[in-house]
């Protein structure tokens, strides 16, 4: 049985969760979403994800920092600017030994230092005026 050592985070690469909604006025509604990603996202990328959220006329998003503060999401990101975005949190993932043929975890290796995997949290709001 051949094995290899891997760091396998439990957190999915991308999660879009509906967090609620509100009636803002006569025929004016908002729906709220939380997006969690293993990489920093730009406003353009979040707008593409809006297709999974809601088809409102207005879309707003903020990144939630490690301290719970909400900061603006950059309009675009490239490989250089993506590195400068502070993560919302960090998961410490232990090293596991997995069987190569089945990809099944054989054991968790305790004497190897856990690896840090960053994640980013965004709060999004889609607004729609249903009288349009």
Q: Report pTM.
A: 0.83
Q: What is the pLDDT along the chain (132 residues), one digit of tens a residue?
A: 788 889 988 889 999 999 988 888 788 888 999 999 999 999 999 999 888 877 778 899 999 999 999 999 999 888 787 777 889 999 999 999 999 888 888 888 888 899 999 999 999 999 888 765
Give the per-residue pLDDT at 37: 95
Give the per-residue pLDDT at 131: 67
Domain regions of the chain by residue span: 11-90+118-129
83 CB-contact burial (10 Å; exposed 0-12 / middle 13-18 / buried 19+): exposed
56 CB-contact burial (10 Å; exposed 0-12 / middle 13-18 / buried 19+): middle
Give the per-residue pLDDT at 128: 86
Distance CA 101, CA 57 (A): 49
The H or E element that residue 127 is part of is strand 115-129
């Amino acid at each position: 049985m051949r094995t290899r050592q891997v760091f396998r985070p439990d957190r999915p690469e991308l999660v879009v969760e509906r967090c609620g909604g509100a009636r803002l006025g006569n025929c004016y509604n908002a729906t709220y979403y939380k997006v969690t990603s293993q990489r920093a996202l730009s406003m353009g990328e979040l707008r593409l994800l809006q297709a999974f959220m809601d088809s409102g006329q207005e879309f707003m998003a903020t990144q939630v920092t490690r301290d719970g503060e909400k900061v603006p999401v950059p309009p675009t990101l490239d490989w250089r600017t993506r590195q400068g975005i502070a993560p919302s949190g960090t998961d410490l993932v232990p090293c596991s030994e997995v069987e190569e043929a089945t990809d099944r975890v054989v054991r968790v290796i305790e004497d190897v230092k856990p690896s840090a995997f960053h994640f980013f949290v965004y709060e999004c709001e889609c607004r729609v005026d249903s009288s349009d």
